[in-house]
Amino acid sequence: MTLSHYLLTHLRDSNIQAELNLIISDISDAGKKISHEVQRSGLLGLHGAAGGKNVHSEEVQKLDDRTNEIMKSILSDNEHIIGLASEEEKDIVDVSRGRSTGFIVAFDPLDGSSNIDINGSVGTIFSVLPSWSDIRHDFLQPGRSQLASGYVLYSSSTVIVFTVGKGVHEFTLDPDDGEFILTQENIKVPSTGKYISYNEGHKAKFRKSEASAISKLMDDGGSARYTGALVADFHRTLLKGGIFLYPAVKSGDGYIGKLRMQYEVKPLAHVMHEAGGIALINNENAMEVAPDELHERVPFVFGDKKIVKKYQEYRYDSK
Ligand code: FDP
């Protein structure tokens, strides 16, 4: 079944707003275009840095710019969307054209961009929220207010995985006819996961209780996995279980998280939650935490319930 057919039939039957279907359809169109660009990036000279820094002081890659433009141009044409926030934009993009209510979309156009030059997996992440009047304020709603969330993963195949609060579904892009085809419906995270996913290079800068909890999980028979692209690490965790951790890392006198609330944490927490897993910011349910500002970064942990519970015992209960 194609994505368009699914959106028209299944989601309509479950009272999902027609506007949301159109937004997901537009995001899937952007995903097709980005997939095409990613596949040809080496040939088109799109590898490497664009020569500037983004709002997070990270080097912008040429494909970051290109994919940001694709997302902006397709989504700003959608008559139901009134505001956009991108990891690559300093400020929100107001596309309200006089409308005061509608939908707002936060996105990371190309997550894991350090993987571009080595033909590794990368992805686009999105989060859709309702907005009533003040776009800037409405972006700061907690994860549980999201109406739709998901990602497109560009890898050995291109898949779109999303939730509109009625389960998590995966559609795979058929390169022959350019259609996304349903490949997995109602995905549930298996609770038999043994994969522990984190950047070991940062371990010396984690809090002691954090590093010790991770060591205990490994001692329990964990197996290490880390691609360096959040979307790819998320997708593996969704399908195979286990735990992903990007804890706060020592910086100056304090500890800071790296992953972005709006563009990474909120949407992926929503998908994980819908698939029966858990996502945490510190020791709180990530769906309940509201960002304080647009580009806020936080520590992030997610995975299947069994292993995340064990992590919480090791990390927080036995201090
Ligand atoms: P990248 O910097 O390559 O864009 O938040 C971005 C991200 O990748 C995630 O996709 C990834 O999980 C993480 O950063 C990797 O960070 P480290 O290199 O510090 O492990």
Query: How far apart are the CA of 168 and the centre of ligand 1, in A?
Result: 24
* Separate counts of helices (H) and strands (E) for the chain: 9, 20
- Position 244 pLDDT exceeds 90: yes
- Position 21 pLDDT exceeds 80: yes
Kindly report the protein residue whose alpha carbon is nearest to atom 7 of ligand 1: 112
- Position 15 pLDDT exceeds 60: no
- Mean pLDDT of all residues in 167-184: 96
pTM: 0.95
- Position 47 pLDDT exceeds 80: no
pLDDT of residue 318: 64
Residue 13 — very low, low, confident or very high, per pLDDT cuts 50/70/90?
A: low
Furthest C-alpha separation in the chain = 58
Query: How far apart are the CA of 211 and the centre of ligand 1, in A?
Result: 19
Query: How far apart are the CA of 306 and the centre of ligand 1, in A?
Result: 25
Two tokens, residue 26 = 């537009």
pLDDT of residue 269: 98
Kindly report the protein residue whose alpha carbon is nearest to atom 8 of ligand 1: 112
Decide: residue 308, CB within 10 A, 0-12 exposed, 13-18 middle, 19+ buried.
buried
pLDDT of residue 45: 77
* Ligand 1 neighbour 56 (Cβ under 6 A): no
Residue 50 — very low, low, confident or very high, per pLDDT cuts 50/70/90?
A: low
Residue 292 — very low, low, confident or very high, per pLDDT cuts 50/70/90?
A: very high
20 with 128: CB under 8 angstroms?
Answer: yes
